[in-house]
Structure 1
Amino acid sequence: MTFWLTALLVWMAAGARVGRVLVKPATTARVAIVVAVAAVAAAATVTIPEVAVALDHLLPNGIRGQMFADRLHVAAWLLFTVATSVVAAAAWPIVSRTNLRQIAAFIYAAGVVSIAVTLAWSTLFGWAVTLLGCLFIAITGLRNLDWTALGRGIALYTAGTILVGVLSVLSIRRLAMDYPPAGPGHAGWFWPAWQVASLLVAVGAVWIVIELWARARLLLRQIRPLHRTMTGRFPEVVAKDQTGSTTQLKASDQVAQIMDALYLLSGGGIELVDAGRPTGSITERADLVARWARNPLGDVVIDARWIAPPEGLSPRGWVQAIARAFEAYPPEPRSAASQRG
């Protein structure tokens, strides 16, 4: 069952990468990622015991001992390293956008030859080329690690690639020592390790999409009380065509709506002498804006200068800070609300 589930999850990741190419320009690197993840999905499918047996029976009776499914498994991982090597090459400063296509064509041509040799002659050769590709990818990935959504995705993808390299070494050792083939479904850690490598690569390839979606969901939950209050006062800030967007776009729309409503509540750009110039830390400033947003008729005076995001902080981060402070204050008293109306 785990074989089927792994293949399903990796194919879903491949579909997500295809969708990303369809909505964004199909660059050489983006297409290579699609090929790489699809190759991993094919490798995960081939390792399903029922599929492996069916593939082996495609061969004539006289040559079934060659284990066709095993050769396809090697070829799929070889294709993964070939396509990912194209992405890795694009990350090096010496490679420009103009010569990346030429480099990619050379890598793909060498990969096609290697896959043909693997399928027709030697899986040992295929594992050796896969190992070399994994070394290049791992070095490139480790050079580009950072603590961002993209960097975390690269870390997962690189970890999966390193595991593929380790398993390639073990496969070379097994073939060199003439051990019996460890076919799909055999007991031990060997095939589960391939599943872990497949999932690491698949999750790494779509990590930035997963993280952006999760962050957007978290933001929507944090700003919900503030958004409900401000759009209740100024419903005109909500456009009629903003109801059917994606989670990320919905979060961006609600941030913009909150900023527009706060601006309107402050008088639409009027500078008040009593408000003074914004001072204090971001937390203190957000606290004052939140108190004022709860009770505009209270003792806190705010104008448009206080509504603008502090220097170095994005509108999303600023609204998030206000929303956190907003929840700490009780709702606006009914008397004040009625007076404002």
Structure 2
Amino acid sequence: MTFWLTALLVWVAAGARVGRVLVKPATTARVAIVVAVAAVALATTVAVPEIALAIDNLLPRGLPDAILSAGVVVSAWMIFAAATAVVAAAAWPVVSRRNLRQVAMVIYGVGVIAVAITLAWSTTFGWGVVALGSIFIVVTGLRNLDWTALGRGIAIYTTGTAFVAVLAVLQIRQALIDAPRTAPGHAAWAWQAWEIAGLLLAFGSVWIVVELWVRARVLLSRIRPLHRVMIGRFPEVIAHEQTSSSTQLEASDQVAQIMDALYLQSGGGVELVAAGPPPLSPVERADRVAEWARNPLGDVVVDARWIAPPEGISPRGWVQAIARAYDASTPVHARN
């Protein structure tokens, strides 16, 4: 059952990448990611023992067992390596956006030739191509790691590719020592290893989409009480034709609406002597703005200088800090 579930999850990731291409410009890199994840999905599907057996039964009797399924699997991993190499090539300074398409065509061409040689000659050659391509991808991935949503996705994808490189080398060793060519799913340990690699690649390919969606949902949840109060006072900050097509855009829209409403409540840019200059501490500043937002007619005075995000903090982070302070200063029974 886990075999089929793994294949299903990888196909879901491939579908998610297709959806991203449909809603955003279909660049060479985005299309390459779709091809790469679809190839992984094909490889994990054909490597399922039942699928591999069904494919091998299509061959006439007398031919080596698993020759067809093994050829399909290694070909799919070669397509993965070629497509991901296109994405990796885009990260190197010597490759510009202008010539990326030409570089991609060369890589795809080499991949097609390698697949033809593999199917006509030996899967061992194909695993060698997979190993070399994966090493190039891993080296490129390690050069581009950072602590961002994209960087974390690259780290997961690079880890999965490293698994592929190691497993490809093991396939070469097995072919040279054991002679018969078998699909990777025929050995329990091999299938589990390829299963992990496929899942890592699938998760890495959609990580940034999932993380941004989760962060947007968390942000919407945190700013909901403050947003409800501010647009209730200043409904004009919401454009009538404004419609959010995604959770991320909805979160960005609500952040902008809160900032606009706070600005209007402060007098529209008027500096008040009673407000004084804002403190350097973002926490203290957010606490005062939140108290003023909750009770604008109270003793707390705030002007536009307090509303502007502190240096080094984005509008989204600043609104989130105000919303957190607002939520902490509001009685529990009044939050809903």
Fold match by TM threshold 0.5 = yes
Matches within 5 A, 1:254-333: 254-330=254-330
For 1:82, the aligned partner's letter is A
- Out of 175-184 and 306-315, give the one that drifted further: 175-184
Residue 224 of structure 1 corresponds to 224
Structure 1 spans left out of the alignment, 5+ residues: 335-341
Distance 1:91 1:193, change over 3 A: same
TM-score normalised to the size of structure 2? 0.94
- Out of 298-307 and 186-195, give the one that drifted further: 186-195
Residue 303 (structure 1) shift:
1.2
8 A Cα contact 1:56 1:64, kept in partner: no
- Out of 306-315 and 124-133, give the one that drifted further: 306-315
Query: Is 1:67 aligned to 2:67, yes or no?
Result: yes
Rounded Cα–Cα distance in structure 2 between residues aligned with 1:11 and 1:33: 13
8 A Cα contact 1:52 1:184, kept in partner: no
8 A Cα contact 2:184 2:190, kept in partner: no
Rounded Cα–Cα distance in structure 2 between residues aligned with 1:35 and 1:183: 21
Rounded Cα–Cα distance in structure 2 between residues aligned with 1:77 and 1:285: 54
RMSD of the alignment, in Å?
Answer: 1.9
* 3-state SS of 2:87 partner: helix
Distance 1:118 1:185, change over 3 A: closer
* 3-state SS of 1:301 partner: coil
Residue 331 (structure 1) shift:
5.2
Residue 97 of structure 2 corresponds to 97
8 A Cα contact 2:52 2:66, kept in partner: no
Rounded Cα–Cα distance in structure 2 between residues aligned with 1:135 and 1:210: 27
Rounded Cα–Cα distance in structure 2 between residues aligned with 1:245 and 1:105: 34
Residue 184 (structure 1) shift:
6.0
Rounded Cα–Cα distance in structure 1 between residues aligned with 2:64 and 2:217: 52
Cα offsets for 1:34-82 (capped at 9, x unmatched): 1111110110111122221221122222435352111100110011101
Number of residues of Structure 1 aligned to a counterpart in Structure 2? 333
8 A Cα contact 2:74 2:123, kept in partner: yes
Rounded Cα–Cα distance in structure 2 between residues aligned with 1:111 and 1:198: 20
Residue 272 (structure 1) shift:
1.5
Percent identity over paired residues: 70
Residue 191 of structure 1 corresponds to 191
Residue 26 of structure 1 corresponds to 26
Cα offsets for 1:64-111 (capped at 9, x unmatched): 535211110011001110111111111111112222222222111111
8 A Cα contact 1:275 1:303, kept in partner: yes
* 3-state SS of 2:84 partner: helix
Residue 143 (structure 1) shift:
0.7
Distance 1:269 1:286, change over 3 A: same
Query: Is 1:83 aligned to 2:83, yes or no?
Result: yes
Residue 56 of structure 1 corresponds to 56
For 1:175, the aligned partner's letter is A
- Out of 81-90 and 54-63, give the one that drifted further: 54-63
Distance 1:25 1:266, change over 3 A: same
For 1:291, the aligned partner's letter is E
Residue 111 of structure 2 corresponds to 111
- Out of 229-238 and 134-143, give the one that drifted further: 229-238
Cα offsets for 1:3-29 (capped at 9, x unmatched): 111111111111111122222222221
- Out of 83-92 and 45-54, give the one that drifted further: 45-54
8 A Cα contact 2:73 2:183, kept in partner: no
8 A Cα contact 1:231 1:258, kept in partner: yes
For 2:104, the aligned partner's letter is A
Residue 185 (structure 1) shift:
5.2
Residue 179 (structure 1) shift:
5.4
Residue 339 of structure 1 corresponds to none
Rounded Cα–Cα distance in structure 2 between residues aligned with 1:120 and 1:66: 15
8 A Cα contact 1:49 1:184, kept in partner: no
Distance 1:188 1:3, change over 3 A: closer
For 2:3, the aligned partner's letter is F
TM-score normalised to the size of structure 1? 0.92
8 A Cα contact 2:266 2:302, kept in partner: yes
